[in-house]
Amino acid sequence: MLQFESLSKPKIDIESFGIGANIPPINQVKMMDEDSFEHFTEEWLYACKKNNYTSIKRIGGAGDKGRDVIGYYNNGTVDYYQCKHYASALTPSEYYIELGKLCYYTFSNEYAIPKNYYIVASNDAGLNLTS
């Protein structure tokens, strides 16, 4: 004859799982692909900075000239956001390429000098860039 033992309550609260795994937001950002990270940045700007700008536009991808998202002010000035979605922290050599693009395209008048230029890095900036 089969004998069954009493069931005890699991050590993990199954109801806290909801749908899918509970992944911290910063890890969700790191798991995004490059395009999703650019969309995320655009949505973040709209949610958090929309009062600063008259419009926000994503132009990321090949040929963006170092500007993935642009925030437009009502006086005609702009802020540029360059997204960098790398597996590790942003290094000086990776940053200098983007800074070079900004210098080149503003000097050649292909686009306006921004009020602010932001590098949005999914895995932060390395120590050499932050010190």
One-letter amino acid for residue 38 of the chain: E
Q: What is the C-alpha separation between 62 and 14, in angstroms, rounded?
A: 44
The set of residues, in sequence order, having a beta carbon less than 8 Å from that of 81 and lying 6+ positions away, is: 41, 45, 67, 68, 69, 70, 71, 118, 120
Tokens of 6: 């009493």
pLDDT of 128:
81
Tell whether 26 is covered by a domain: no
State the pLDDT at residue 5: 65
Looking at residue 1, its pLDDT comes to 57
Assess if residue 12 is contained within a domain: no
Q: What burial class does residue 58 get, using C-beta atoms within 10 Å of its C-beta: 0-12 exposed, 13-18 middle, 19+ buried?
A: buried
Give me the chain's average pLDDT, please: 86
Domain that holds residue 53: 34-130
Q: Is residue 23 part of a domain?
A: no
In a domain, 123, yes or no: yes
Instruction: Assess if residue 11 is contained within a domain.
Output: no
Cβ–Cβ < 8 Å for 32, 40: yes
Number of domains composing the chain: 1
State the residue for tokens 């949505």: 43
Q: Using a pLDDT cut of 90, give the percent of the chain over it.
A: 50
Is 7 or 30 the better-scoring residue by pLDDT? Answer: 30
Task: Quote the pLDDT of residue 118.
Answer: 94
pLDDT, residue 76, reads 94
Amino acid identity of 120? V
Task: Please report whether residue 1 resides in a domain.
Answer: no
In a domain, 14, yes or no: no
15 domain residue, yes or no: no
CATH number of residue 69's parent domain? 3.40.1350.10
> Which of 10-14, 69-73, 104-108 is predicted least confidently?
10-14
Q: What percentage of the chain reaches a pLDDT higher than 70?
A: 83
